Amino acid sequence: MKSIFQLDKPAVSRLCLQFQRLFVVLKLSMERQAVQRAKEAFLSGRTRPLEFRLQQLHALQRMITEKEAEISTALKQDINRNEIKLALEKLAVWAAPRPVERNLLTISDEVYIQPEPLGLVLIIGAWNYPWAVTLQPLVGAIAAGNAAVVKPSELSEHSSLLLRALLPRYLDKDLYPVVTGGVSETQELLRLRFDHVFYTGSSTVGKLVMAAAARHLTPVTLELGGKSPCYIDKDCDIRIACRRITWGKFVNCGQTCIAPDFILCEPCIQGRVVECIRQTLLEEIFGPLLPIVTVSDMDDAIRFVNEREKPLALYIFCSDKKATKRMIEETSSGGVTVNDVMMHYTLSSLPFGGVGESGMGHYHGKHTFDQLSHQRACLVRSLRMENVNLARYPPQDRRPAKLCLGWKLLLCSTAYVSVGLKKTLMSSLFVESKSCPLKVVVSRKSAESRL
């Protein structure tokens, strides 16, 4: 057998190619194993108790605090620690059963919505905010009781490797594995079945993610981009408007999905807008100017926005509250900020997400918890009071009085019957109940108050 030193050049090339293919197979196999371990760990029920979820959230918070020196730059610009703090404070409330309204037929039943974990979530992060758009969905996934496979962007290589090194030291390494790599590794993950896919990135890749998820009927949250317009009204303080717009355009070196993309204004203020932006750039930062599109008035601005894909954010600079309200009502976007830019993103109480081409689904705070939970409808009924149900069973003509009474109860409880008809039916119900062995377990006063 020849040694590698005795092989000719083509043979060496073939051998190197075989080793390369073997490495790819082994690496893909490792990814599948990580997903399988996470799935098995979730099915074990480990994530169900709130105590476990709180422990994992505390561990994630400890990781950020203890390793701040190693990831200080990313933390200062990126991660919002309030997301973890909020989840720790509110988790018991978020995860509690939520009672809902009952009707006459379910008046004695226990009716509620119970949030429950979806299962295994895939989180695909982005390179421009490698910590925030990866850890914020992870906080929600943990809080909701899911397992999660984290796939950071390969373009932010240092953050990706650091996340892979740190996360297993603090979190359950089976439930929350980190998979690194490029396009091929992401494609391999998308071939596997998840219970939810959370992707942040471009619309082009978002369509591929959605197509891959559709093969398994997997729901997705897509946080995409889109051109975010700024409308400047001629009667607002143009200097302040331009200062805030320019800051938003160039924060994080201009690499923010909700950064202002262009300005809409009337020709009469275009010169002032250009001058104010130029002054702001000279005073604070350096960079290219924003595109400015002239429109005749607010009507023209609304038409311009509506003729294009729905943006991730819309910014309105206007002092007239009535005009502002009109522009909000007659346009559509993922979010709106009036007289500033990007600030709606900073509130955990507001859902952040796109619409149409700019994405689907939303997150931040409780909205992430709800997005990554199944809202399970629950009705708990007693086996007593069976007489109320006799009208449901055949033969249905054996007790005409009870049948008639049962259907009247049903009609009174539905939203598709007019209030007048409901009152007539309720009046007859109490007359019939005197001669019918079926007892109506509500007073007339309380019944009419429900109409």
- Residue carrying structure tokens 């619409």: 355
Which one is catalytic: 31, 83, 223, 266?
A: 223
CA distance 244 to 276: 11
Read off the DSSP letter of residue 363: B
Q: Which of 140, 73, 181 is nearest to 372 (CA)?
A: 140
CA distance 367 to 362: 7
CA distances from residue 246 to 269, 271, 280, 287 in whole angstroms, order as listed: 17, 16, 7, 10
CA distance 192 to 179: 14
Burial 66-103 (b: 16+ CB within 10 A, else e): ebeeebeebbeebbbeebbebbbeebeebbeeeeeeee
Which one is catalytic: 242, 257, 318, 412?
A: 257
User: Which residues lie below 8 Å from residue 246, measured CB to CB, with a gap of 6+?
Assistant: 277, 280, 281, 284, 285, 290
Q: Which pair of structure tokens corresponds to residue 80? A: 């919002």
CA distance 385 to 90: 39
Is residue 223 part of the annotated active site? The answer reads: yes
CB 205 within 8 A of CB 126: no
CA distances from residue 223 to 47, 141, 202, 237, 340 in whole angstroms, order as listed: 26, 16, 8, 32, 21
Is residue 70 part of the annotated active site? The answer reads: no
Query: Beta-strand (E) ranges in 401-449?
Result: none
- Residue carrying structure tokens 């992430």: 368
User: Which residues lie below 8 Å from residue 352, measured CB to CB, with a gap of 6+?
Assistant: 223, 334, 335, 344, 345, 362, 363, 364, 367
CB 266 within 8 A of CB 295: yes
Active site residues: 223, 257
